[in-house]
Amino acid sequence: MTTINKLEQALASAKGLSADLKTFSMDTNDQQAKQMFSQLSTQMDNIAQMLQSRTDYVKSEEPQYAQEAMGIPQNQQNKLKNNQIK
């Protein structure tokens, strides 16, 4: 698994956990628990933002990710690379 895949997986997990924590906050009547879940959700949102920033940075620094963002499939990227080497 590549670094970008790991970052994207961590980002998705962080967003999912944040959503779960928000749900827990809304579902409970206990004010202390509601506050705790809300704070944890906010912290997880901050973590997700940091992971998103890092993911965006890695994509901007690595040429293969820039090509993927432009819609060039990996197999065509390899062909392009092979032609440049010749």
70 — pLDDT class (breaks 50, 70, 90): low
pLDDT (tens digit per residue) in 19-33? 999 999 999 999 999
Separation between Cα atoms, residue 84 and residue 86, nearest integer Å: 6
Q: Mean pLDDT across the stretch 72-79?
A: 57
pLDDT (tens digit per residue) in 52-68? 999 999 999 887 776 66
Percent of the chain with pLDDT over 70: 74
- Give the torsion sign (CA, 85, 76, 54, 9): negative
Number of domains in the chain: 1
CA-CA distances (angstroms) from residue 5 to 8, 33, 56, 68, 71?
A: 5, 34, 12, 13, 17
Range with the lowest mean pLDDT among 6-10, 37-41, 65-69, 75-79?
Answer: 75-79
The range of the structural domain enclosing residue 35 comes to 3-85
